A = this chain, B = another copy of it.
Amino acid sequence: MKFIAPNLALHLLGILPFLSLAALASPSSAQTRLPSNLMPQPANIKQTAGALRIDANFTVALSGHTEPRLQRASERFLTQLHRQTALLFAKTSSDAAKATLVVHTDHASKEIQELGEDESYSLEVTATGAKLNAANPLGVLRGLQTFLQLVEVTPGGFAAPAVTIEDQPRFPWRGLMIDVSRHFIPLGVLKRNLDGMEAVKMNVFHWHLSENQGFRVESKKFPKLHELGSDGLYYTQEEIHDFIIYARDRGIRVVPEFDMPGHSTAWFVGYPELASGSGPYSVERRWGIFDPAIDPTREDTYKFLDELIAEMAKLFPDNYFHIGGDEVNGKEWDANKKIQEFKKSHNLKTNEDLQAYFSQRVQKLVTKHGKAVVGWDEVFIPGVPKDIVIQSWRGQQSLAAAAQQGYHGILSNGYYLDLGWSAARHYAVDPMSGAAAGLTDDQKKLILGGESCMWSEYVDPENIDSRIWPRNAAIAERFWSPQSVTDSSSRVSGSDPALTLYSRLDVESARLEWLGLTHRSYYHKMLQRIAGPASPEEFAALRNLADVVEPVKDYTREQTAPVEPNSQLPLSRLVDAVSLESDAGRHFSELVDKFLAASCRDTATAYELRTQLALWSQNDAAFATLALKSALAQEAVLTSRDLSAIGTVGLRALDAIATGKPLATDQQSQLNSVLSEAAKPKAQLILIPAAALRKLIDAASQPNTCAPAKP
* 20 more A-B residue pairs beyond the given contacts A14-B570, A498-B535, with a C-beta to C-beta distance below 8 A: A1-B560, A1-B681, A4-B682, A6-B634, A7-B562, A9-B635, A10-B563, A12-B631, A13-B632, A14-B568, A86-B529, A88-B568, A91-B232, A153-B530, A153-B533, A153-B630, A503-B535, A521-B521, A521-B524, A611-B611
Instruction: Judge whether B86 and A462 touch: CB under 8 Å.
Output: yes
Measured between beta carbons, the chain B residues less than 8 angstroms from A1 are 556, 560, 680-681
How many A residues, CB 8 Å from partner? 80
List residues of chain A with CB under 8 Å of any chain B CB. 1-4, 6-7, 9-10, 12-17, 36-37, 56, 84-88, 91, 152-158, 231-232, 462, 498, 503, 506-507, 510, 513-514, 520-521, 524-525, 528-533, 535-536, 556, 560, 562-563, 568-573, 583, 587, 611, 614-615, 628-632, 634-635, 637-638, 680-683
Measured between beta carbons, the chain B residues less than 8 angstroms from A503 are 533, 535
Q: Which of chain B's residues has its CB closest to A567's CB?
A: B88
Tell me the complex Cα distance, A563–B513, Å. Answer: 31
Option from B10, B157, B532, B631 in Cβ contact (under 8 Å) with A156: B631
Measured between beta carbons, the chain B residues less than 8 angstroms from A152 are 532-533
Contact A630-B155, Cβ < 8 Å, known A535-B498, A682-B3: yes
Instruction: Judge whether B638 and A4 touch: CB under 8 Å.
Output: yes
Within the complex, the shortest CB–CB distance from A204 to chain B, in Å, comes to: 29
9 contacts between A and B (CB under 8 A): A1-B556, A3-B682, A13-B572, A86-B570, A153-B631, A154-B532, A506-B536, A510-B525, A611-B614
Within the complex, the shortest CB–CB distance from A64 to chain B, in Å, comes to: 27
Contact A533-B570, Cβ < 8 Å, known A1-B560, A6-B562, A637-B4: no
Instruction: Judge whether A513 and B525 touch: CB under 8 Å.
Output: yes
Contact A15-B532, Cβ < 8 Å, known A2-B680, A155-B628, A635-B4: no
Tell me the complex Cα distance, A165–B630, Å. Answer: 25
Instruction: Judge whether A563 and B155 touch: CB under 8 Å.
Output: no
Tell me the complex Cα distance, A529–B156, Å. Answer: 14
Contact A570-B88, Cβ < 8 Å, known A37-B533, A563-B15: yes
Tell me the complex Cα distance, A506–B535, Å. Answer: 9
Instruction: Judge whether A631 and B9 touch: CB under 8 Å.
Output: yes
Within the complex, the shortest CB–CB distance from A301 to chain B, in Å, comes to: 32
Measured between beta carbons, the chain B residues less than 8 angstroms from A680 are 1-2
Q: Which of chain B's residues has its CB closest to A559's CB?
A: B1
Instruction: Judge whether B154 and A629 touch: CB under 8 Å.
Output: yes
Option from B563, B571, B615 in Cβ contact (under 8 Å) with A7: B563
Instruction: Judge whether A9 and B634 touch: CB under 8 Å.
Output: yes
Tell me the complex Cα distance, A334–B533, Å. Answer: 60
Option from B13, B529, B562 in Cβ contact (under 8 Å) with A3: B562
Cβ-closest 4 pairs across A and B: A6-B635, A86-B572, A153-B532, A86-B570
